[in-house]
Structure 1
């Protein structure tokens, strides 16, 4: 099951990059997806994949809300924080985590540290003291 999710993720990325749903591009995308080497890691649990996809679904309305909030009340302060990567994440799940963080307008992942941390840039409202 996890292998199918990895193939689906790779194919989705291919279609997002090419923005072409012609028959030739679909055939090329499937070929590229199947020819890319597999990473020799332990397979992630199905519940981790489902949770990650749920986080993507939740991030869509959150992104709209944050975009409206920034337009109505501009944010002028910035902060760089370190967030811990959830334990035992496969490269595909790490990609989805980074995608969810970066998808919202107020946050972007600056760097993924191999020792298990994301460096996240956040835009926050200025707090007057």
Structure 2
């Protein structure tokens, strides 16, 4: 039963990715996407740890809202600067499977203002962010006061 649940989660994730890439949730696209998802090799899905995977999937559902928010912020930046930061890998990812690690990486990279460059060690990602210069920030703060 657990293997069936793991397989179902994997198929649903693939189908969701297919629908997002094709930008279509029509029934014909979903059927075609399901066929493609079944034809892609599965690998060993029995190693998926559901305790780590379910919270990562729930956090991934928040991505479209974060993407829209960051897109608007990116439009409003007048003088962008590049920032390089180290972001912690979630504890569920460290203790979970490679699929949970992929979801953590996907969540960071999906938004327009951040991009994972590499994994420094087991605890940290090196992330490139687009930020606003400090003078723009100070000006915006003065304008709001």
What's the TM-score, normalizing by structure 1?
0.69
Give 1:98 shift: 2.2
Paired residues, number: 125
Aligned to 1:43: 48
Q: Which runs of 5+ in 1 are unaligned?
A: none
Report 1:22-101 matches (<5 A). Answer: 23=28, 26-40=30-44, 42-45=47-50, 47-85=51-89, 86-101=93-108
The offset of 1:97, in angstroms, is: 1.8
The two structures, once aligned, show a CA RMSD in angstroms of: 3.0
Is structure 2 residue 126 aligned with structure 1 residue 122?
no
Whole-Å separation in 1 of the counterparts to 2:127 and 2:120: 15
User: After superposition, what is the alpha-carbon deviation per residue over 1:37-71, rounded to whole angstroms, capped at 9, x for unaligned?
Assistant: 333362222x4333223222333333322222333
State the partner residue of 1:12.
Answer: 16
Q: Structure 2: where are the runs of 5+ without partners?
A: 136-145
What is the TM-score of this pair, normalised by structure 2?
0.63
Distance across 1 between alignment mates of 2:23 and 2:63: 22
User: Which of 1 and 2 has greater Rg?
Assistant: 2
